[in-house]
């Protein structure tokens, strides 16, 4: 049923994930912050007393987030493994508070580097904890739909900063953003630990109560056969998990593990080397260099809104259409749209008269972000737990998320330098080529995982 998650049965799952995504939206603000702010920092009107930043410094402003993300992914993976998902969720806003404090008090680029590093720590928590939290609490019928909310909330943050970054004073934004963690901490503190985490600790009664909460079952009298079956599957899954030997190298050498790891690495590489994250980071600079006749500030907001439209499209159809078809459509469309953007840039650089088509860069980037949003930028965050063997699901997600941050560092660090040396067209044509390769990999190697039961995955494979 269309938007079935809005039914009474699912509303607590949706409400819990909406509360968790307050920090996701806040992270989205930090992701998009460089787009309107870097042009300001590079201008004579820079708010930094130390003066305008250079291209090299601007590239480090973008890339230090990815360094923090790599460390944050590993750090929060360890936290949720040993202390549970709820503890990890409650710790995610700590670096978020630090980063906005550094921007508020900073008077040179080194404060911004530190802030961006802390932003990466927050992002590491978002990508390593929240997808697994969703997988733990979501009904399999709407798991993909709820998983799509992650990227939607990131892009809500993007819309805010793209709009506010060009109109609010530089030091007002941090003051606003320091409010978000307070509401997040209050709401998340009322959420129960996930049933899986409680079962792993042997707290059977609390685990059952947790599942009743997330399935919106008020008391024992309202428990259904379906609920009992699901809880028994969870118990069986955890029992099987506890009797397994510790993870060793041999676990990574099975065909299922190799395929799962390959898919995890591939979707994360496609997510980054398609250039989407770098484009979101440097969108303001790209619009300035592309010769568009539209006000870059207006164009930023326009593409962010269109990006959210793509997210909502994915959100409403992913559990009906499936993961594979959306990835295929997304990679194909992004490759074509970036190729068109590259052609416009090439003609502009070589002196062709493009009067009358100044709108083309905005259209091309809007299509790029819309089509990326229906697949490339959101499917990877929840497809990984669905393709990994049960025993390796947690560590596989951590490996994939860590590689995502490393890939992001390479792209975000190189993009502004490449745009200066081989121009926009050379840079986006590289990303377009990556998408073309990705299409063939998706067709021949990526399975469909829609509706997969994570509780019995290991048993069906054993």
Per-residue pLDDT of the chain (462 residues; tens, 9 = 90+): 444 545 667 888 989 999 999 999 999 999 999 988 998 999 898 999 988 999 899 999 999 999 999 999 899 989 998 999 999 999 999 999 999 999 999 989 999 999 999 999 999 999 889 988 998 998 877 877 787 788 789 889 989 998 888 889 999 999 999 999 999 999 999 999 999 999 988 899 999 999 999 988 888 877 888 888 888 889 988 887 777 767 888 888 888 888 888 998 999 999 999 999 899 888 888 887 877 767 777 888 888 888 888 878 877 787 778 788 999 999 999 999 999 999 999 998 888 887 888 888 888 988 998 999 888 987 887 688 788 887 787 788 778 878 888 999 999 999 989 998 999 999 999 999 999 999 999 998 888 776 666 655 443 333
What pLDDT is stored for residue 2 in this prediction?
A: 43
User: Do residues 289 and 415 share a domain?
Assistant: yes
Does residue 4 form part of some domain?
Answer: no
- How far apart (Å, rounded) are the C-alpha atoms in residues 410 and 416? 11
How high is the pLDDT of residue 422? 93
- Domain contains 335: yes
From residue 317, alpha-carbon distances to 139, 313, 369 in Å are 16, 6, 18
Indicate whether 214 and 264 sit together in one domain.
Answer: no
- 95 assigned to some structural domain: yes
Based on the fold, state whether residues 142 and 102 are members of the same structural domain: yes
Query: 205 and 145 in one domain?
Result: no
Examine the domain organization and report whether 369 and 397 are in the same domain. yes
**Is 134:150 a contact under the CB 8 Å cutoff?**
yes
Would you state the structure tokens that stand for residue 89, as one six-digit string? 């969720």
Range of the domain at 457: 251-461
Q: Does one domain contain both 186 and 233?
A: no
- Inter-CA distances, 48 with 32, 45, 51, 283, 300, Å: 19, 9, 6, 21, 23
Q: Which residues of 80-115 are buried (b: 16+ CB within 10 A; e: fewer)?
A: bbeebbbebbbbbbebbbbbbbbbbebeebebbbbb
**Confidence at residue 176, expressed as pLDDT on a 0 to 100 scale:** 94
Indicate if 236 and 294 belong to the same structural domain.
no
Give a yes or no: residue 2 inside a domain. Answer: no
Alpha-carbon torsion angle 174, 179, 185, 187, nearest 10? -140
The pLDDT score that the predictor gives to residue 7 is 61
Q: Are residues 277 and 396 in the same domain?
A: yes
Q: Angle at which helices 143-164 and 109-137 pack, to 10 degrees? A: 160
What is the CB-side half-sphere exposure of residue 238 using CA atoms within 13 A?
A: 18
User: Is residue 377 domain-shared with residue 293, that is, in the same domain?
Assistant: yes
What's the pTM value of the predicted model, to 2 decimals? 0.82
Residue 26 placed within a domain: yes
Q: What is the CATH number of the domain that holds 262?
A: 1.20.1250.20
Co-location of 360 and 415 in the same domain: yes
In a domain, 301, yes or no: yes
Are residue 184 and residue 208 in the same domain, yes or no?
no
Tell me what pLDDT residue 314 has: 78
Is position 313 within any domain? Answer: yes
Specify if 3 maps to a domain: no
The tally of domains found in the chain comes to 3
Instruction: Assess whether 430 and 364 both reside in one domain.
Output: yes
């Amino acid at each position: 049923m269309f938007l079935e998650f809005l039914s009474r049965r699912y509303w607590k799952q949706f409400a819990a994930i909406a509360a968790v995504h307050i920090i996701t939206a806040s992270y989205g603000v930090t992701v998009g912050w460089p787009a309107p702010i870097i042009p300001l920092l590079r201008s004579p009107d820079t708010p930094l007393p130390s003066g305008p930043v250079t291209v090299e410094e601007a590239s480090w402003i973008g890339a230090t987030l990815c360094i923090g993300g790599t460390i944050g992914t590993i750090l929060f993976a360890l936290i949720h493994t040993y202390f549970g998902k709820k503890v990890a969720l409650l710790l995610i806003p700590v670096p978020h508070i630090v980063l906005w404090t550094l921007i508020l008090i900073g008077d040179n680029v080194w404060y911004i580097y530190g802030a961006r590093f802390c932003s990466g720590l927050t992002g590491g928590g978002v990508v390593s904890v929240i997808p697994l939290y969703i997988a733990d609490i979501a009904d399999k019928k709407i798991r993909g739909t709820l998983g799509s909310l992650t990227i939607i909330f990131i892009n809500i943050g993007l819309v805010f900063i793209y709009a506010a970054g060009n109109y609010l004073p530089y030091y007002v934004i941090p003051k606003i953003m320091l409010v978000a963690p307070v509401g997040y901490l209050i709401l998340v503190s009322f959420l129960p630990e996930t049933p899986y985490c409680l079962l792993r600790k042997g707290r059977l009664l609390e685990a059952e109560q947790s599942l009743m909460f997330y399935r919106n079952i008020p008391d024992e009298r309202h428990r259904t056969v379906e609920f009992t079956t699901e809880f028994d599957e969870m118990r069986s899954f955890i029992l099987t998990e506890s009797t397994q030997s510790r993870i060793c190298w041999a676990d990574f050498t099975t065909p299922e593990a190799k395929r799962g790891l390959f898919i995890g690495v591939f979707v994360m590489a496609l997510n980054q080397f398609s250039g989407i994250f770098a484009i979101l980071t440097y969108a303001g600079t790209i619009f300035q260099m592309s010769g568009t006749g539209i006000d870059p500030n207006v164009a930023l907001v326009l593409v962010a809104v269109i990006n959210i439209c793509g997210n909502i499209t994915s959100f409403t159809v992913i559990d009906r259409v499936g993961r594979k078809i959306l990835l295929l459509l997304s990679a194909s469309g992004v490759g074509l749209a970036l190729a068109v953007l590259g052609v416009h840039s090439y003609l502009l650089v070589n002196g062709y008269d493009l009067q009358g088509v100044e709108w083309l860069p905005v259209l091309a980037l809007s299509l790029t972000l819309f089509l990326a949003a229906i697949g490339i930028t959101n499917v990877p965050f929840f497809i990984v737990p669905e393709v990994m063997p049960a025993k390796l699901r947690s560590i596989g997600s951590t490996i994939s998320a860590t590689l995502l941050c490393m890939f992001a560092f390479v792209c975000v660090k190189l993009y502004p330098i490449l745009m200066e040396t081989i121009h926009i067209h050379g840079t986006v044509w590289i990303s377009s080529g990556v998408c073309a390769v990705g299409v063939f990999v998706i067709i021949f190697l990526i399975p469909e995982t829609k509706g997969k039961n994570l509780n019995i995955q290991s048993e069906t494979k054993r």
